Chain A
Amino acid sequence: MKHSIFLISLILLFAGCEVDQKDIQPENEFIKIYNHPDQQIAYHPAGILELPNGGYLILSGVKVDSSVIEYPHANLIKTSPTGEVEWTRDYDLYAPTPRLFERSGSVGFIAMDLQLNAYAVEINTASGDVAGQHDLGLTNPLYSYVDKQKNLLVLGYDYIARSSWISLFDGSFGLQRSVKVNVNEDLVIQVQKHLNKSGTQFPFFVGEWTEGSQSGYFVNCFYNYTLRTVYFESAGLTMLGNIYSFQTQAAVSSLIQRTGNRYALTRFYSNNNYLLGDVEVDIGTSQNFNDITGQMLPELVHDAKVLSARITVASTPYILFASQTNSNSMVTYQHAADVDSLIATQYHQFNERVEVSDIIQTAEEGVALLGRIYILGKYQRPVLVKLPARTFSP
């Protein structure tokens, strides 16, 4: 009898623990699909930002089928910490670049007017109102990046000089340095199709590197006929070496520095995607990795967009790659930060086609993954996948 009572008590205790679930907070893990009933509009999510007081800002380009303007207009969605919509706002600026910026309390995004001039737009996060607008003096903005010193680096394209245009701005949006690298070919049509979402979406990106006492940026941009990862040193934006592939049909799709001259990168080439977990990059020379296959990623879609991020969970740093598979999944590959070691692969299956747009680490050490989903296979809408920190704890 005593044994039975003990056994029953034990079962109820275990059941009680599972019933409790108090350690799981709704804001730590959720999935939200943001639907608009208008069937004539398509969302192209560009960036996500977690706000200091909780909640998220989601930046999208919204393309309206019936509009005479070919470029998608900028749109912001403000959500609660659990992903519920608090407000949405459309802006009279177009083709917003990937990634929102947040520095010294200023939050905003980069987009262009119909004359293709780039602007930085600061917004009031409580209402979505424009708090400031700054002409950046470059055209066709393609990507924006806030560095560790909170400077803003913007990649554009100069259709007159046929050059990629890289400009660095200080905290007051004052121009610090600017450089143009020659493409030697007129790629304005490809750039326009990239911006108006009617053609190939090129994997433009910007990152930072440090090597010894040197530091700088690597920028995936058009240069010398091809889509290359070009290294710049930060002091004068002096161009160093680069990583090239093949014209614009092959490229590095994401790049992240491990330490020193060791990098992890993904690339697509000849219809295949590859992950090179640990390669040595000589930032002073022009080189390619076309003959180094690394790990083939056949599950990824053709010329897959890949995002990379450095995250820290329980004081341990990791490198995270995120992409989309042929079977409608968002996938994350979690690697050790210091050595080439795959720790975990996570799939988030959807019933419809899905593509990744941005990835950030959140304050509670989880990850927010922004993407685009085709609701009912046809309506393009933002989808936000919030993953808890325990997903990445080995």
Chain B
Amino acid sequence: MQKILAFLFVLLFSTTIMTAQVNPFLENFRVGFGAGVNFSHIMETQSYNLYEDLTGEEYRNTYSSIFQNFGHQYFVQLDYRLMDFLALTLKPGTYTYSFTRLTNIVFQDETVEQANEIRLRYFEIPLEVRYTADLGTFMPYAGGGFTYAHLMGSQEATNQTFIRPKMTLGGAVGTYIDLNYLILDFNVGYHYGLHVITSKANRDDTGSRDSYSQSDIRLNDLSINLSVLFSLQKKSGRGRKVKCKFPQ
């Protein structure tokens, strides 16, 4: 997080100096940072179980429901207006997803519920294309994009049961709120996992308290984000039509 803030500071400082001159690129460029929450939506494509029942019953995996799977993200946001109605957004940062895998081991006199809590922290680079409408202070938009993510290292044994890359396609709706010296970006998005994130070579975790085999799963998520953006050189004739006063 500190590195991200330092990077942001340097970026803002350098671009502020650069804004002394009119630059068509910077005029359309906005930079900022944001944070948000996410809710993991697990889709099991192939079930694998550590336990096999000798009486013919089937062990079933279930997962905690979407709104119990609370995660969060912090990111730097870079916005570039390709046209008046089209923006390109990049939001690199750390994205953490949490969910719980539930399995019951059944005995005649007792049922043991296994709950494997899984927390995955990714470095993600979401790229979004947004179609915006200019309504003055509010600039609602709808868009879609592609995200590449890389699972970050962890001491948790569960991390070994996942592969490192994760790619998603997603859609988002939201709005920019132009507050003159800064712009807020509020958005809600849903991302669909393009592939199974389970490591087929290391799907078993038998050393932890509740041993299990990881099923083939896709990780989808619903995310809600709020970002603060700064114009590097305010484009004239947009929003409330007030020019930013940048230091000369």
> Residues on A close to B: CB < 8 A?
11-12, 14-15, 18-19, 21, 24, 26, 29-39, 77, 79, 83-85, 88, 348-351, 375-376, 379, 388
Knowing A15-B165, A19-B165, A351-B211 touch, does A31 contact B55 (C-beta < 8 A)?
Answer: no
What separation, in Å, do the CA atoms of A336 and B109 have in the docked complex?
Answer: 49
Which of A21, A38, A348 sits near B200, CB closer than 8 Å?
A21
> Interface 1/0s, chain B 92-107, versus A by CB < 8 A?
0000000000000111
What separation, in Å, do the CA atoms of A379 and B107 have in the docked complex?
Answer: 10
Q: Please name the residue on chain B nearest to A15 by beta carbon.
A: B165
A36 touches B109 (CB 8 A): no
Contact residues in A for B195 (Cβ distance below 8 Å): 19
> Residues on B close to A: CB < 8 A?
48, 50-57, 105-110, 112, 148, 150, 163-165, 167, 195-196, 199-201, 203-204, 206-211, 213
What separation, in Å, do the CA atoms of A12 and B204 have in the docked complex?
Answer: 27
What separation, in Å, do the CA atoms of A386 and B54 have in the docked complex?
Answer: 19
B50 touches A33 (CB 8 A): yes
B206 touches A351 (CB 8 A): yes
- Nearest 3 interchain pairs by C-beta: A349-B207, A15-B165, A24-B200
Contact residues in A for B109 (Cβ distance below 8 Å): 39
Knowing A15-B148, A15-B167 touch, does A37 contact B55 (C-beta < 8 A)?
Answer: yes
A85 touches B54 (CB 8 A): yes
B148 touches A30 (CB 8 A): no
Contact residues in B for A348 (Cβ distance below 8 Å): 206
Nearest-Cβ distance from residue A59 to partner chain B, whole angstroms: 14
Contact residues in B for A33 (Cβ distance below 8 Å): 50-52, 211
Q: Please name the residue on chain A nearest to B57 by beta carbon.
A: A37
A29 touches B201 (CB 8 A): yes
Q: Please name the residue on chain B nearest to A352 by beta carbon.
A: B211
Contact residues in A for B110 (Cβ distance below 8 Å): 39
Best-buried of A31, A84, A350 by chain B (most CB within 10 Å): A31
What separation, in Å, do the CA atoms of A21 and B209 have in the docked complex?
Answer: 28
Contact residues in B for A35 (Cβ distance below 8 Å): 51-54, 105-106
Best-buried of B112, B206, B213 by chain A (most CB within 10 Å): B206
Which of A18, A31, A37, A375 sits near B213, CB closer than 8 Å?
A31
Nearest-Cβ distance from residue B92 to partner chain A, whole angstroms: 13
What separation, in Å, do the CA atoms of A12 and B105 have in the docked complex?
Answer: 40
What separation, in Å, do the CA atoms of A37 and B201 have in the docked complex?
Answer: 29
A37 touches B200 (CB 8 A): no
Which of B54, B55, B203, B208 sits near A351, CB closer than 8 Å?
B208
Which of B108, B201, B207 sits near A39, CB closer than 8 Å?
B108
Contact residues in A for B196 (Cβ distance below 8 Å): 19, 21
What separation, in Å, do the CA atoms of A15 and B164 have in the docked complex?
Answer: 8
Nearest-Cβ distance from residue A393 to partner chain B, whole angstroms: 14
23 A-B pairs (CB sep. < 8 Å): A12-B148, A19-B163, A19-B167, A29-B201, A31-B50, A31-B204, A32-B50, A32-B51, A33-B51, A33-B211, A35-B54, A37-B106, A37-B107, A38-B107, A38-B108, A84-B52, A85-B52, A349-B206, A349-B207, A351-B207, A351-B211, A375-B105, A388-B201
Query: A15-B165, A33-B51, A85-B53 given. 7 additional CB < 8 A pairs?
Result: A11-B148, A26-B200, A32-B51, A38-B107, A39-B108, A39-B109, A77-B54
